[in-house]
Amino acid sequence: MPKRVFDLLAAGCGVLLLLPVLLLIMLWIKLDSPGPVFFRQERVGRFGKPFRIHKFRTMYVDAEARGLQLTVGADPRVTRSGQFLRHYKLDELPQLLDVLLGQMSLVGPRPEVPRYVAHYPADVRDKVLSVRPGLTDLASIEYRHENRLLGESSDPEHTYLHEVMPNKLRINLQYVDNHGLFSDIGILWRTLQVLFR
C-alpha cells in the first residue's frame, strides 16, 4: 500500500510540474513528422496481464512494419525529435499516466513485449511478473547504453535474447526479492543522476 500511495502522489505531482514540458514535446513531435503524438504498444504487465503502454512517438508511423521491435544503433526509423527524446529518456514521460492508471509503478522491472516474454523461463516469468512493471529499474540503469551495444552486434536479436535479457532478468529477480519503498526511492535517485549526467 505505501508503494502505491507513493506512486500516485509522485506521478500526480510529476504530471502537474512537467505539464509545460509535456506540451512543448507534443508540439515538437507534431511539427517534426506526420503522425500521432503518442505511441502505444502492447506490453506484458503484472501477473501476465497485457496492457498498452504510453510513450511519446519517436519513430515514423510505419516503423514497426520496417524492422525489429528492438531499436538498434543509429536506427533510420527514429525521427529527429525522437533522437533527442530517446537520448534523455523523455519519450518515457507519458508512462506517468500508466502509473496513475495502476498499470505500472514508478519503479519495477521494465515491461516487455509479449514476443520476448515468451522466452522467459517459466519460474522466472512468474516471479518477475508478480510485481507491477516500472518506469525505471536497476536493469535499465545498468543497460542504459543497450541501444549502442545492440548496434555493435552482428545479430542484435540474438544478443538481446542470450546476453542482455538474461542479465536483466537476474537483476529483476534481485529487485523482486528485496524491493521496498526506500529502495525504490534510491533507484529513482540513481535514475535522475544518470539522466542529468
Out of 69-83, 89-103, 145-159, 173-187, which region has the weakest mean confidence (pLDDT)?
A: 69-83
State percent of the chain over pLDDT 90. Answer: 77
Domain boundaries, the chain: 2-196
Q: What is the mean pLDDT of the chain?
A: 92
Q: Where are the alpha helices (DSSP H) in the chain?
A: 2-32, 80-87, 95-100, 114-117, 122-128, 138-142, 146-151, 156-159, 165-178, 181-196
How far, in Å, CA of 94 to CA of 191, rounded?
Answer: 17
| Nearest alpha carbon to residue 57 among 15, 24, 25, 20 | 25
Phi, psi of 28 (to 5 degrees): -60, -45
pLDDT, position 63? 66
Phi, psi of 66 (to 5 degrees): -110, 15
Confidence of residue 147 (pLDDT cuts 50, 70, 90): confident
Average pLDDT over every residue of 16-33 = 96
| Nearest alpha carbon to residue 60 among 74, 40, 48, 78 | 78
65 pLDDT above the threshold of 80: no
How far, in Å, CA of 107 to CA of 150, rounded?
Answer: 24
pLDDT, position 95? 97
Q: Are 62 and 76 in contact (CB under 8 A)?
A: no
pLDDT, position 67? 60
pLDDT, position 146? 87
73 pLDDT above the threshold of 60: no
Confidence of residue 85 (pLDDT cuts 50, 70, 90): very high
Q: Are 8 and 100 in contact (CB under 8 A)?
A: yes
> Which phi-psi region, left, alpha or beta, contains residue 87 (left: φ > 0; alpha: ψ -120 to 50)?
alpha
Confidence of residue 161 (pLDDT cuts 50, 70, 90): very high
pLDDT, position 127? 97
Q: Give this prediction's pTM.
A: 0.88
